[in-house]
Amino acid sequence: DIQMTQSPSTLSASVGDRVIITCRASQSISSWLAWYQQKPGKAPKLLIHKASGLESGVPSRFSGSGSGTEFSLTINSLQPDDFAIYYCQHYKSYPYTFGQGTKLEIK
Amino acid sequence: EGQLLESGGGLVQPGGSLRLSCAASGFTFDTYAMTWVRQAPGKGLEWVSTISGSGATTYYADSVKGRFTVSRDNSKNTLFLQLIGLRVEDTALYYCAKGGYSYDLWGQGTLVTVSS
């Protein structure tokens, strides 16, 4: 099985900051990676598909990059609404797995 | 667009069974694979199962293989997950999600609690 490891587990930042969350796959997954945002008590929301494809309706301050085993989610100019938990997920081969999550909290 | 609405969760004893449902609307249901993802209390997301649009092909996480069965009724735009032999570690919020790769639409989840 392919393991996904996110870092950091927790990230403290301020409104207006630029933050980067990384996700590493235990083997190459090409660009078969998605990023999700989850707020407390809510279902996850798809932000990025195929490593860098911005989902419709997602603000352009979110961007994804990477291929192979190293990926990143960048959020430019953090907004109050962005404080949440972020998950990466590969879909290279079954079983699809998620990273353990990165909690983005207000500094 | 679209909407997914899960139901069928509840409290069940270890070894018990449940059938979860997910009613879909607002998109052409039978053209999309559908997926179940679960989240234990305070924990991360775990992929559980995926079924193709026709229902002919299914995939399961090792942790549920042989105990859970995914199915769909395309005439009723409904996805199902049959859970048998439930264990304490199956306690989670079960989400249905649209898609077989990345998931662009999620329900609000139905809570399954396995406890004696």
Query: For residue range A58-72, what is the model confidence (pLDDT) as tens digits?
Result: 999 999 999 999 999
pLDDT at position A21:
98
Within 8 A by CB and 6+ apart from B2, the residues are B24, B25, B26, B27, B98, B105
pLDDT at position A87:
98
pLDDT at position B3:
98
pLDDT at position B1:
83
pLDDT at position B67:
98
pLDDT at position A89:
98
User: What is the share, in percent, of chain B residues with pLDDT greater than 70?
Assistant: 100
- Residue of B45, B62, B104 with shortest CB distance to A46: B104
Q: Which residues on chain A are in Cβ contact (under 8 Å) with B102?
A: 34, 46, 49-50, 89, 91
* A97, pLDDT greater than 90: yes
Which helix H or strand E contains B73, and what residues bound it?
strand B68-73
